[in-house]
Amino acid sequence: MTVADVPVEPLHRRLGVTDDELEAIRDRLGGRDPNDLELAMFSVMWSEHCSYKSSRPLLRTLPTEGRDVVAGPGENAGVIAIGEGLAVAFKIESHNHPSAIEPYQGAATGVGGILRDIFTMGARPIAVLDALRFGDPADPRTRHLVDGVVRGVGGYGNCVGVPTVGGELVFDPSYAGNPLVNVMAIGLLREEQLTLASAPGPGNLVVLYGSTTGRDGIGGASVLASATFTGDDPSKRPSIQVGDPFAEKLLIEASLELIERGLVEGLQDLGAGGITCATSETADRAGTGILVDLDAVPRREPGLEPFEVMISESQERMCAAVRPDRWPAVQEVCRRWGLPVAVIGRVTADGDITVVEGGLDANGSPAKGAREIARIPARALTSDAIVHARLATPPTHRRGAPAPGIPAAVSDRLPERGMDPGAVLLALLGSANLSSRRAVFQQYDSTVGADTVAGPGRGAAVLRVKGTRKALVATTDANQSVGAVDPWLGAALSVAEATRNVSITGARPLGVTNCLNYGDPTLPDAFWQLTEGVRGLSDACRALGLPVTGGNVSLYNESLGGRIAPTPEIGVVGLLDDISTLVGPAFVQAGDTIVLVGDSTPGLVGSAYAELAGVTSDDSPPDLDLGREEAIQSFVREAIARGLVASAQDISGGGLAIALAECSIWADLGATVRLAYFGSPAVGLFGESPSRLVVTARPAHAAALAMLARKHGLPVESIGSVGGDRLVIEATSATAMGAAEERGGRVTDTLEVPIRELRNVWEHGLGRALGWES
Amino acid sequence: MPVRIGVVVFPGSNCDRDTVHALQLAGAEPVVLWHEQASLESVAAVILPGGFAYGDYLRAGVIARFSPIMRAVAGFAGEGGLVLGICNGFQVLAEAGLVPGALLRNQSLRFAGREVAIAAERVDTAFTHALDARRPLRMPVAHGEGCFYADDATLDGLERDGQVIFRYVDSTGTNAQPGDPANPNGSLRAIAGVINTAGNVGGLMPHPERAAEAILGSDDGMGILRSLVDSASRATADPVGPAVAVR
């Protein structure tokens, strides 16, 4: 196939370039028409995936400054200093559409791509977290996708020797036709090893090493990632990249050795947009140009067209700027790791990406008889790519603003619905979304690297930093169910939940990476969701004093089944200065006092309880007070630093009852709790209002803990104690109003379940939901 | 002077750094041995670490056995040198015929990455003498092909000759037969680790090097590494004597 073989539709449209974009391309080329190769290069670089043409104006509003930020957005990954000359690199990225077509390779190459972003910066990858979202787990199609994605994440991550230490697995009907595969990677580097993706120094060699270039992944960025998705379309299969974790492992070791020995001036991995992207981005950042010697690119098959070579997304390739005197040493390193390596061009001073056929001469100029087949200003492909001002319109049917105070009529009282709170707890605990993720994460290697202090399954992951007393704490979170009704709140809650999960270990969140999964930006209501999501992300990060250090935007997450719920996936890395102060979420010791910090506020929309039992149409999600969120996180970090805390658990999915049940299951220690609720027992037991914690303390510390909470302006209450072999919760209405009083007395809902029973439903819930066990 | 112990690095090894780290904690001086070299640099013992040597596209360990370093390792083993294979290293040793049995795909056909308990069958070998008999040792497994297999006659022989050194056990310390959740891969007769007839070459699927510090949740693996380091020290001190006790 050649790009010229086009029947009726003009070539640019077939490549996903609109008529007004073609006009803008002519403008960037001084008025001339692009040739077919140039058009192919533009089509990839001006795709939504590479150019962020719809989201860029929004992303500029995010806070990116921070005291310890070493590298922020625009680089391959954010980098933050952690002291003692060390820094942490981290980023999250999506691989949604490839995973929908070919789940194994889609997920595998998603892992590979994000790992390259990390080691390109000079950091050794030390952890992967994967945030996965699918439709109904009972649907055979979902089961096929889950199985493939899990095998793909494992197949790649297990082989390259980077532990998978956390993530999420969420089921929601909105993802039925469009699953989400977001992968976060974390790396550790010495600050002086920091390597940037730039190609400085005209005269330097442009070196390509790693796998050879083939036809796989042609137009992955433009065809797959940047268009609405119409299901299992075999014609798009050639767009899927194929991963080779063994090649990636060699690439990691070779790249880190090249960096450590100071052999490269700049380094960029080849992902979306292939050679076109790597050359134009590195040249643009350095203010240089690159002359590409097309014939020099090592290929895995004959007969590749120039455009195929320039935009192929063959995996496991790296592009480096190398001083000519260091070329022999670079060759030696690549040879030793068994990687093909070639000089494929020269850094120039003219600012253009120029492609020639026919080779270069000894001076690095086009050889006699060589033909220039493309010339585009590097910045026209990257920083000066088109930006679209999209229209954002809120949907016509929006929920009303919640009335202040406690709603007068609460319609979700458990006894009135004939529900037994213990049965509700067991149903939630065994549900596909709240049960143990073990059936999945035990297919991953979570301990390679010998740094995993807390792996998947119990809140945030904890990794010690060898040679120091420090630990890194990492988590991912996204709240799509609240986001579906209020995208601002969904995004702000995602940040709040993710950072809270880090703070409850005692660690200080360092920064935020995000993967914004939204719908078609050309549809005003979808673009409104994105706009609101970015605003929520921005507001929450500012309130918590956190920089956004990078991320990725995945749009067009729509399928025949509809649009996904807005899903701002948040990745957070925190730093614990002294690992001996680490606190976990599980109960520690019988006799410890259980303290509830924070307020339970009304509103069940978006909760797991609502999914099970339904809610009234006038209900809404609970509110989020970002000032309160900041206070509770500061409080818990201070309390842990002062040694007042035995365990700390955050209250999120499933509410207080689930939080207590998890603390019990993980410790194999029961608890007896008396809870005074306002309004509705369902809100008290299963409501998911944010900014709340279950903290336990030695009885001798309980008073100091409560005093500290009050100092931070937080409501605090001792609600019971740890011990026994069952979870007992007595929930009593704290008000003398409402239905209970009408019946002539206070109503107490008592929930009493043996831990054994809790554990049984919790451990097998996911396997049963997916049909892996009966 | 700390005893020098070689850690072989194949392309695709991914537990080499962890093994080096754990050996340092165990008081040894790790020496990294590259797969292309033909010399073992006079080390007192060799560890083949975990990973996916040469990509393991065909079958775990099948290519690695043909590498230059493996000729040296086989020669070293033939002269009574101490060799321990962990996970992929065990698979390589089995492919090379240096330890008995074969490691098949896990019975579940899925990768198994989790903590298991194993118990030492013998505490008089080069790899186990610092351990307490039958005390369950907690450490991770992480493999897709770890199901120990041999025919019944071979298994009988291994048991008779004391070549089974580790078995998977459940929470009560009972051997976990195939199908028991405490047996992560369906290994026959719950076998997690074996030695050759001479007792100087051993392999196991679980990762002692990942369970060598309390901060990581278990330091039960340290006893295995200390046994090896101690045996290697003794072998250095008395190079002519037998490396190990053989029943």
Instruction: Strand A289-293: give its sheet, edge to edge.
Output: A266-269, A317-322, A205-210, A341-348, A289-293, A352-357, A371-377
Contact (CB<8Å) B216/A154: no
Chain A residue numbers touching B35 (CB-CB < 8 A): none
B54 and A246: CB-CB below 8 Å? yes
**Full DSSP string of A565-576:** PPEEEEEEEEEE
Q: Where are the domains of chain B?
A: 4-237
Percentage of residues of chain B with pLDDT beyond 70 = 96
Contact call for A445 and B111, based on CB within 8 A: yes
Q: What is the ipTM of this complex?
A: 0.94
Q: How confident is the model at residue A77, as a pLDDT? A: 92
A112-126 burial code (b ≥16 CB/10 A, e <16): bbbbbbbbbbbbbbb
Query: What is the maximum span of chain A, computed from C-alpha positions, in angstroms?
Result: 100
| pLDDT the model gives residue A577 | 96
Q: Does B222 touch chain A (CB under 8 A)?
A: no
CB atoms within 10 A of CB A582: 18
**What is the per-residue pLDDT for A549?**
94
Q: Tell me, yes or no, if B20 comes closer than 8 A to chain A by beta carbon.
A: no
Q: Which of A154, A249, A464 sits opposite B111 (nearest CB)?
A: A154
What confidence tens digit (pLDDT) does each residue in A33-90 have? 999 999 999 999 999 888 899 999 999 999 999 889 998 888 889 999 999 999 999 9
Q: Cα-atom radius of gyration of chain A, to the nearest Å?
A: 27
Identify the three-state secondary structure at position A706. helix
Distance from A258 to chain B by nearest Cα, in Å? 17
The reply to whether B142 touches chain A by the CB within 8 Å rule is yes
CATH of B4-237, one of 3.40.50.880, 3.40.50.970, 3.40.50.720, 2.130.10.10: 3.40.50.880
Confidence class for position B133, pLDDT limits 50, 70, 90: confident
Residue in chain A lying closest to B139 (CA): A447
Active site positions of A, annotated: 49, 95
Q: What is the pTM of this model?
A: 0.93
Both tokens of A603, joined, read: 């509103």
Contact A442 B114 (CB under 8 A): yes
Q: How confident is the model at residue B247 (pLDDT cuts 50, 70, 90)?
A: very low
A469 contact residues in B (CB cutoff 8 A): none
CA distance A474 to A652: 17
Phi and psi, residue A497, nearest 5°: -65, -45
pLDDT at B61: 80
CB contact under 8 A, A161 and B54: no
Measured between CB atoms, which of A244, A448, A452 is closest to B14? A448
The pLDDT, as a whole number, for residue B245 is: 46
Coil, helix or strand at residue B73: helix
Closest chain A residue to the Cα of B217, Cα to Cα: A453
* Inter-chain touch A246–B12, beta carbons under 8 Å: yes
Res A291: pLDDT: 96
Which of B25, B215, B218 should one mutate to test binding to chain A, selecting the residue with the greatest count of A CBs within 10 A? B215
The phi, psi pair for B57, rounded to 5°, reads -65, -40
Tokens at residue A308, please?
A: 């195929």
Assess B110–A contact: CB distance below 8 Å, yes or no: yes
Q: Which of B139, B119, B146 is nearest to B22 (CA)?
A: B139
pLDDT at B93: 96
CB contact under 8 A, A448 and B55: no
pLDDT digits (tens, 9 = 90+) for A538-553: 999 999 999 999 989 9
Read off the tokens for A19.
Answer: 């008529």
A509 and A546 Cβ atoms separated by less than 8 Å: yes
**Chain B interface mutation, best of A130, A448, A578, highest count of B Cβ atoms under 10 Å:** A448
Q: Can you tell me the distance from the alpha carbon of B59 to that of B53, in angstroms, rounded to the nearest whole number?
A: 10
Nearest chain A residue (CA) to B13: A161
Strand ranges (DSSP E) for B98-190?
102-104, 112-120, 137-143, 147-149, 164-168
Which chain A residues contact residue B111 at CB under 8 A?
A: 151, 154-155, 158, 443-445
Give the pLDDT score at B7: 98
Of residues B11, B52, B217, nearest to A337 (C-beta): B11
Distance separating alpha carbons of residues A496 and A510, to the nearest angstrom = 14
Q: Do A447 and B140 touch (CB under 8 A)?
A: yes
Instruction: Please indicate whether, in this complex, the C-beta atoms of A443 and B50 are within 8 angstroms of each other.
Output: no
Q: Which residue of A has its CA nearest to B141?
A: A445
pLDDT, residue A3, reads: 59
Q: Residues in chain B, how many?
A: 247
Contacts of A703 (CB under 8 A, 6+ apart): none
**Average pLDDT in the B205-224 region?**
97
* DSSP H stretches of helix in B9-63: 16-25
Q: List residues bridging with A722 in a β-sheet.
A: A671
In which order are the strands placed within the sheet that holds A671-677? A647-650, A693-697, A593-597, A716-722, A671-677, A726-733, A748-754
Q: Looking at CA atoms only, how far is residue A451 from chain B in angstroms?
A: 7
Q: In the numeric block, which tokens belong to residue A743? A: 């019946």
Find the DSSP H helices in A649-734.
655-667, 681-686, 699-711
What pLDDT score does A613 carry?
82
Tell me the C-alpha distance between A698 and A592, whole Å.
5
Judge whether B213 counts as a catalytic residue.
Answer: no
Which chain A residues have a beta carbon less than 8 Å from that of B12? 159, 246, 249-250
Instruction: Give mean pLDDT in consecutive 10-residue pieces for chain A, a chain of 774 residues.
Output: 64 90 94 93 91 90 91 88 97 92 91 93 96 96 96 93 96 95 97 92 94 78 55 52 84 95 94 92 95 94 90 90 96 94 96 94 90 95 91 75 45 56 93 96 96 94 97 97 95 97 98 96 95 97 96 92 94 97 97 96 90 80 95 98 97 96 97 88 91 97 97 96 96 62 58 96 96 87
